[in-house]
Amino acid sequence: MAGAAYGGGGLGLAGAGLLAVLRLEARAARRRVESRTSKQEPPTGDGVYGRGRGRVKPLVFVVLGDSSAVGLGVERAGETPGVLLAAALAELAERPVRLVRVAVSGSESYELDPQVERALAVRPDLALIMIGANDVTSRTRPSVSVRHLADAVRRLREAGAQVVVGTCPDLGTIRPIGQPLRLLARRWSRQLAAAQTIAVVEAGGRTVSLGSVLGPSFAQDRSLFSVDEFHPSAAGYASAAAVLLPALADAVGVWPERADRRRLRRGTVRPVARAAARAAGRTGTEVRATEVRGSGTGPLGTWARLLRRRPSDLPVPAEVGEADGLPVG
């Protein structure tokens, strides 16, 4: 590819020049983001949400990952994805949901192991993992990143938890990143998202593409970003939660069929690698394992089903006060 772009004789000089530009762009973007990013994380929001507290065993919901899972960029617990989703799941399930956030800002996939340890300690029924952006910015090889992610999914599944992964967002929408780095960031993000999908589905989880959620809508509507122009705003996290909710609810059997009669676009069954490549560029696409004629694998590997759901307008509350949750003991 580089040879075709630059020609044989000038490859060394052109390649070195491009690399220097990319490094300068990366340093400038990092300084701009870090100068505006709040060092104060929002409260965890850990607690029990929904009616029937004390009378019904809560569904235990854990959130793992990086700053997008933490909710960095907002101030209130009720604006974070964990709380938004816990409250919505409680209403859909008609039972209390216990939220435990173990995500850590700045995490890369290789740092998931201690988060999984903390998650397993509370015996989760459902786990959400949001990770990948820091793997891209650190230029970690996708094969390394997805190995750690697959291990995390496998351990959670072996413990009995259903697992949903929000794949790497499209970093090509981040305004502080200039060209040509922005174009490369988009390519790297989608490559990682596709690799994550293959690994997660084969490990027994399901994925939801967050490409343009934290991408075209984000690129067009700057209100979805917080002041650092990197992390989502409260509206941005609500948008992401609305996309994730159907897969999470369906994973634990509480997504109402009536919601899909009008909203679910026709699912397509493909080998997982092809499904992953398609999902990476289509926001909100869910990918999960399936069977064809009673078999989970075909000539090209694991069978996967793509589901295109529009974002939910079912309960993803815009505001949830910290008092709605009960402290986790």
Is residue 323 in some structural domain?
no
Amino acid at site 307: L
- Is the residue at 298 inside a domain? yes
CB 163 within 8 A of CB 287: no
The reply to whether 68 belongs to the active site is no
Whether 188 is in a domain gets the answer yes
Query: Cα separations (Å) of 244 from 88, 114, 165, 236, 310?
Result: 11, 24, 9, 13, 10
Catalytic residue among 46, 66, 67, 324: 67
State how far the Cα of 280 lies from the Cα of 181, in Å rounded to an integer. 19
Q: Which tokens belong to 99? A: 């939220």
Q: Which of 107, 226, 231, 312 is catalytic?
A: 231
Residue 171 within a domain: yes
Catalytic hit among 66, 228, 250, 324 = 228
pLDDT value at residue 328: 38
CATH of the domain at 236: 3.40.50.1110
d(CA 72, CA 275) in angstroms, rounded, equals: 31
User: Quick check: is 67 catalytic?
Assistant: yes
The pLDDT, as a whole number, for residue 177 is 57
Lookup result for tokens 């006060």:
321
CA-to-CA separations, 171 to 11, 188, 246, in angstroms, rounded? 27, 8, 24
- Count of structural domains within the chain: 1
What one-character-per-residue DSSP string does 266-296 give?
A: EEEEEEHHHHHHHHHTSTTEEEEE--BTTBS
User: Which pLDDT score, from 0 to 100, does residue 318 have?
Assistant: 39
Residue 258 lies in a domain: yes
How many Å apart are CA 148 and CA 166, to the nearest integer? Answer: 15
Residue 157 tokens, joined: 């599944």
Tell me if residue 148 is catalytic.
no
The Cα–Cα gap between 227 and 220 comes to 16
- What residues are paired with 153 via a beta bridge? none
Which amino acid type is present at position 292? Answer: V
Beta-bridge mates of residue 61: 99, 126
Full pLDDT tens readout for the chain, 329 residues: 332 222 333 334 334 444 444 454 545 445 554 544 455 788 899 999 987 656 789 999 999 999 999 998 888 899 899 999 999 999 999 999 999 999 999 899 999 999 999 999 999 999 999 999 889 878 889 999 999 999 999 999 999 999 999 999 887 666 555 556 667 778 888 999 999 999 999 999 999 998 765 544 444 544 444 444 456 777 888 888 999 999 999 999 999 877 765 555 556 899 999 999 999 878 889 999 999 999 999 999 999 999 987 666 545 443 444 434 443 33
Domain residues for the domain of 131 are 26-315
Task: Say what the pTM is.
Answer: 0.82
Does residue 97 sit within a domain? yes
